[in-house]
Amino acid sequence: MLWKAFGWESAQDFLADAERGIDPAAPVGHVVLIDEINKADSDLPNSLLEVLAQRSFRVESLPHPIGGPNVQSPLIVITTDEERELPAAFLRRRIVLTQQPDPGMRYRDWLVQRGAAHFAELPAELPNASPRRAELTAPVILEQAAEQLVSDRQQVSSLNLPPPDLAEYLDRLYALHELFPGETGAQQQWLGRLSAYGYLKHGVVAGQASVSQTRAPVAGLAERPAENG
């Protein structure tokens, strides 16, 4: 992706077959997403420092570097869940935005707000917004999934273990939406089943049955009446 962003024309001969039908004209600009950089090789952030500073890099198959000082820099968005600390020099050269609740907002309500941004009903004034949401997720699902995450988060945090957060919450909603679109009853049933282990990222924690994936499903989670579906 960086090759296309810094050297669109030179990348055309090396595109995958599925990309060859795309208009080869150089776009006005590029946006590059590097998602969850903390899961990449530990030397990637430092390697990117030089690439981004010089706006260029070399590819073995080409005699000349890709990019250069006259190339328009792409907008590069990098995400991390902070499970591994990134180098200080790398962070100093980035504009860091930390996703967190607004002051005074409960974490549970913030999760529901983020879930609604992905899955709630589109406003009447935006009937043609994209992407379309042919099947909606009921508010009760957004709320129950958030409540369970907050409960597990509090228990895990007290043990100084990395807690589940927004990424796990949205993954849960995406899975329910894909498997049971518009079926609130089925989504509630599976929320109950998944409560036994879904947000618990550490497997079995010695002496801590309440945060181990061997625990029973949380009683009452899926027993409240569904709002629709």
How large is the C-alpha radius of gyration of the chain? 22
Same domain, 11 and 62: yes
Please list the pLDDT of the chain residue by residue as tens digits (229 residues): 788 888 888 888 887 777 766 666 778 888 999 998 888 888 888 888 888 888 888 888 788 888 888 888 889 999 987 777 888 888 888 889 888 888 889 999 999 999 998 887 665 555 555 555 545 789 999 999 999 999 999 999 889 888 898 989 999 999 999 999 889 999 999 999 999 999 998 888 888 988 899 888 887 665 554 444 4
Tally of domains in the chain: 2
Q: Is residue 227 part of a domain?
A: no
Q: Is residue 124 part of a domain?
A: yes
Same domain, 39 and 71: yes
Q: Which two tokens stand for residue 133?
A: 């949401």
Same domain, 86 and 118: no
Residue-wise pLDDT for 134-154, tens only, equals 457 899 999 999 999 999 999
Q: Where in the sequence is the domain holding 141, given as residue range(s)?
A: 107-211
Q: Is residue 100 part of a domain?
A: no
Same domain, 112 and 202: yes
Same domain, 115 and 86: no
Same domain, 88 and 117: no
Q: Which two tokens stand for residue 110?
A: 């913030």
Same domain, 116 and 195: yes
**Residue where a domain stops, chosen among 92, 123, 152:** 92
**Residue 96 CA to its chain's centroid (Å):** 16
The predicted pLDDT at position 162 comes to: 85
**Residue where a domain stops, chosen among 40, 57, 92:** 92
- Rounded distance, CA 44 to CA 177, Å? 34
Q: Is residue 221 part of a domain?
A: no
Same domain, 17 and 88: yes
Q: Is residue 74 part of a domain?
A: yes
**pTM (two decimals):** 0.70
**Residue 115 CA to its chain's centroid (Å):** 12
- Rounded distance, CA 224 to CA 226, Å? 6
Q: Is residue 26 part of a domain?
A: yes
Same domain, 114 and 147: yes
How distant, in Å, are the alpha carbons of 100, 113, 117, 152 from that of 131? 25, 18, 11, 31
Same domain, 87 and 115: no
Residue-wise pLDDT for 168-212, tens only, equals 999 999 999 999 988 999 999 999 999 999 999 888 888 898 889
Q: Is residue 197 part of a domain?
A: yes
Asked if the bond preceding 139 is cis, omega within 30° of 0, the reply is no
Same domain, 118 and 201: yes
- Rounded distance, CA 102 to CA 110, Å? 8
- Rounded distance, CA 159 to CA 145, Å? 22
Q: Is residue 219 part of a domain?
A: no
Same domain, 80 and 127: no
